[in-house]
């Protein structure tokens, strides 16, 4: 059953990048360069368009946010392969990722509101697939 779920996630990985993921009163859209098809070993500029209910942007000024990248799926006691530092730019959160090998990865964006912020703590997950060439058929 676990393999079927992972297979299903792998097939739809690039589609998941453009779906809004929600947790409580927070939602976010993920975008990875180039064209949501990251290339192994190359820098992929990654952006999270993160908003609180009502459209208020969530950035590092109002959130203690972190991003973790796991090979495959997130499992108890499994450590992330990447924990890069987030940056805020143009009302969005961003990070430069370098995927170490071909395959599926789970990106986890977590956040705790800073004093005065009106959103709840959140945890958002996306599954993406890093490939060898960056080219894909559409």
pLDDT at site 7: 36
| Residue 111 pLDDT > 90 | yes
Residue 19 gets which letter from DSSP? S
| Separation of alpha carbons 16 and 65, rounded Å | 21
Residue 48 burial (CB count, 10 A)? 24
* CATH match for 2-130 among 2.60.40.1220, 2.60.40.1930, 3.40.50.2300, 3.40.50.300: 2.60.40.1930
Is the pTM higher than 0.85? The answer reads: no
pLDDT at site 14: 41
- Residue appearing with tokens 């997950």: 125
pLDDT at site 134: 55
Q: What is the mean pLDDT of the chain?
A: 86
Domain ranges of the chain: 2-130
| Separation of alpha carbons 67 and 64, rounded Å | 11
- H/E stretch holding 86 reads none
pLDDT at site 131: 92
Residue 8 burial (CB count, 10 A)? 11
Query: Mean per-residue pLDDT for 58-80?
Result: 96
Answer with the residue of higher pLDDT: 7 or 127.
127
């Amino acid at each position: 059953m676990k393999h079927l779920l992972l297979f299903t996630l792998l097939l739809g990985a690039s589609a998941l990048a453009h779906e809004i993921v929600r947790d409580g009163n927070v939602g976010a859209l993920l975008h990875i360069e180039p064209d949501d098809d990251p290339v192994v070993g190359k820098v992929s500029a990654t952006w999270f368009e993160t908003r609180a209910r009502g459209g208020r942007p969530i950035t590092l000024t109002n959130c203690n946010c972190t991003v973790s990248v796991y090979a495959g799926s997130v499992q108890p006691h499994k450590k992330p392969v990447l924990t890069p530092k987030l940056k805020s730019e143009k009302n969005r959160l961003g990070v430069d990722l370098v995927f170490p090998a071909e395959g599926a990865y789970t990106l986890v964006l977590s956040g705790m509101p800073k004093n005065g912020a009106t959103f709840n703590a959140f945890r958002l997950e996306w599954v993406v697939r890093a490939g060898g060439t960056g080219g894909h058929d559409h």
